[in-house]
Structure 1
Amino acid sequence: MARKRFQRFLLVSMVLFILIVVAFFISMNLGTYPLSPLDTFKALIGSGTEEGSLVLFSFRLPRIVLALLIGTGLAVSGAILQGISQNELAEPGIIGINAGAGLAVVLFISFFEGSTGALGFLSVFAMPFFALLGALLAAFLIYVLAWKQGITPVRLILVGIAINAGFNAVLIIFQLRMEPNDFMQATIWLSGSIWGANWSFVLSILPWIVILVPFTLWKAQHLDVLNLGDQVATGLGASVEKERRILLIAAVALAGASVAVGGGIAFLGLVAPHLARRLVGPSHHFLIPTSAIMGALLLLTADTIGKNILAPSEIPVGLVVSALGAPYFIYLLMKTN
């Protein structure tokens, strides 16, 4: 049985990886400045035109890599939150973690005047830390307010929704006090926009993904035990609250870093783990890597659609994901007892 699950996991991963490669090359070719497959290949090997190489290496490739990294981070964060809460509706954008990270980044933009502010180049790398602080604050409030002789799935979701509404209200207040340019930047970013399409933003999020995703895989067995329920997990010798807090911090850090460079992209952390669970089952040893690949594929596809469907105008990727994810969320609400 275990061998069959592993074989299914390998097959699903291979198919998803092939789809990512296809989406990768399609995204490289499409855009306001069209590149044919031959032009793209020549640019990749260094024999293309100067304009083609500039478009590919300075704009499209960093944006594609960012989409893959952000999709991975949000999907794994959602898988962790669903595991530790034993709630299929848990997701960083729904329970307020994205809103907390967004508030911190908006405050950063307000006080440091965006990426051209007082910190200069270092602001690119400071933003994920500010986002992490905001996400940690949201997670702390959710955890404390939801605690009542333990954490129940219903209380976690309800408190998270309330925290999400509160942070969004504060966000609007600070946005109204911004300068017009900063206000527009914050509005587009909060809609979910991979606006930092350069290699500096890739470097700012890369360490978080490279460190925390393998760490989550290492903790996959603990997530499986937590899914059995607090009483059973305690009976098996697990330190339930300790492991829950550690995994919550990992989920918050992944979501915060992703929000810092990708904005308020909701529903991705909900949809990707659910689709992965349908394909490979509930075991987190298979669920987490499949969720990561699925999240990367979904966000890259959504970003390709958003920047090309109304070209030269661009739809924020967060709106495309929401348009696809909201119906699925309603479907899950109708299914959930």
Structure 2
Amino acid sequence: MSMVTASQVEQQKVKRGMLVVGILVALIIIVFIISMNTGHIRLSPLDVIKTLFGYGTHNQSLILFQFRLPRIVIAVLIGAGLSVSGAIMQGISRNALADPGILGINAGAGLMVMLFIFYFPTTTAAPPFMLPLLALLGAGLTAVLIFSLSYKRGEGITPTRLLLTGIAVAAGISAAMIVLTLKLDPDKYQFVATWMAGSIWGTTWKYVYALLPWIFVLIPYVMIKARTLNVLNLGDATAKGLGAHVSKEQLKLIGAGVGLAGACVAISGSIGFVGLIGPHLARRLVGSNHRFVLPASAFLGALLVLTADLLGRSILQPKEVPVGIVVAVIGAPYFLYLLARSKS
């Protein structure tokens, strides 16, 4: 019986990773097509095809190109961004429970956006290209606070301390946000309440254009750093032994993760658990190599948010259930499951 060589094992992993990614892309396309057909005003598959090629009616073109397609594209981008951000946090902290929502980074981004809404004359006039920058500032300051409080000389950042610190900071920021909501006028309060529930509120093409640069720059950058994430995941001592500049690389990757989370939260509101579920399922499907974990996480996150948005628009028509609530229904039990399995 011939022994399986290391190169053959690697080839099998590559084939499996490519197969998983291919299946995820196919599922996203299927849900994407179903989403174009689904809504308060239903468009048949034939109507969608005709409209895509310019043969639909004025109303059909308006519904598809101005209302549904921007929202669907944003759902895909947000899912990919949040999931990759979670993969970065989990890889650096070596903690499967790390997630920008659980660690409080999403809350920090949300607080900055809420402060802007609080002092801005109208919620509808908020410049879409400014919101990701504000969210990045809030997320960055929160990340600095969390990692500073989690660090202990001689021990570094332990997974348990990081998780508990993040939960505590998130709780404090959430309390501050609740206090702010009490001082909002009714129109702004309605907007903020919807935003906090995780509703994709930026559903026009200008919000797609505001989010695209962050996704198309930061996700490829993180993909390039996949090997670095693999090394950092081995532990600080081992990474230093392999020649990695640990602190410098951690800072770069954390910056990318914070940027992705902040930009997505600015457009989508407070959607939690995507950064937890996506990377964890990706590792189960493709292994621990970040060359495959990162793309699988991106597609799993996109599929999760896109499916949640589809369900949210379908369950209680003509009303909508916010995406964040649908994801939380899935994510909360999964988080408890991971917590029960965690050894530290």
Give the TM bin, normalised by the shorter chain.
Answer: over 0.9
The amino acid of 1:136's aligned partner reads G
Structure 1 residues 94 and 114 mapped into 2: Cα distance closer, same or farther (>3 Å)?
Answer: farther
2:48 corresponds to which residue?
40
- Output aligned runs, 1:232-311, within 5 Å: 232-311=238-317
1:128 corresponds to which residue?
132
Question: Is the counterpart of residue 221 in structure 1 residue 227 in structure 2?
Answer: yes
The amino acid of 2:99's aligned partner reads E
Taking the aligned partners of 2:158 and 2:253, their CA distance within structure 1 comes to 16
Which of 145, 149, 153 is equivalent to 1:145? Answer: 149
1:53 corresponds to which residue?
61
Taking the aligned partners of 1:157 and 1:264, their CA distance within structure 2 comes to 18
Deviations 1:253-312 (A, max 9, x none): 000000000010000100011111111001001100110011001100000000111000
1:99 corresponds to which residue?
107
What's the offset of the Cα at 1:184?
A: 0.9
Question: What's the TM-score once normalised by structure 2's chain length?
Answer: 0.95
Q: Secondary structure at the match of 2:145?
A: helix
Moved more, 60-69 or 105-114: 105-114
1:64 corresponds to which residue?
72
Taking the aligned partners of 1:214 and 1:292, their CA distance within structure 2 comes to 11
The amino acid of 2:167's aligned partner reads I
Taking the aligned partners of 2:246 and 2:318, their CA distance within structure 1 comes to 51
> Any conservation in 1 of the 2:101–2:271 contact (CA below 8 Å)?
yes
Question: Pairwise CA RMSD of aligned residues?
Answer: 0.8
> How many percent identity over aligned positions?
55
Question: What's the TM-score once normalised by structure 1's chain length?
Answer: 0.97
Moved more, 174-183 or 75-84: 174-183
Taking the aligned partners of 1:239 and 1:104, their CA distance within structure 2 comes to 32
> Any conservation in 2 of the 1:66–1:197 contact (CA below 8 Å)?
yes
> Any conservation in 2 of the 1:108–1:114 contact (CA below 8 Å)?
no
Which of 120, 124, 127 is equivalent to 1:116? Answer: 124
Which of 315, 334, 337 is equivalent to 2:340? Answer: 334
Moved more, 95-104 or 108-117: 108-117
Which of 169, 172, 177 is equivalent to 1:171? Answer: 177
What's the offset of the Cα at 1:235?
A: 1.3
2:4 corresponds to which residue?
none
What's the offset of the Cα at 1:114?
A: 4.5
> Any conservation in 2 of the 1:193–1:262 contact (CA below 8 Å)?
yes
Taking the aligned partners of 1:87 and 1:113, their CA distance within structure 2 comes to 42
The amino acid of 2:18's aligned partner reads L
Deviations 1:95-133 (A, max 9, x none): 10000000011111111234433xx6xx11100000000
| 5+ long unaligned stretches in structure 1 | none
Aligned residue-pair number: 333
> Any conservation in 1 of the 2:277–2:334 contact (CA below 8 Å)?
yes
| 5+ long unaligned stretches in structure 2 | 1-8
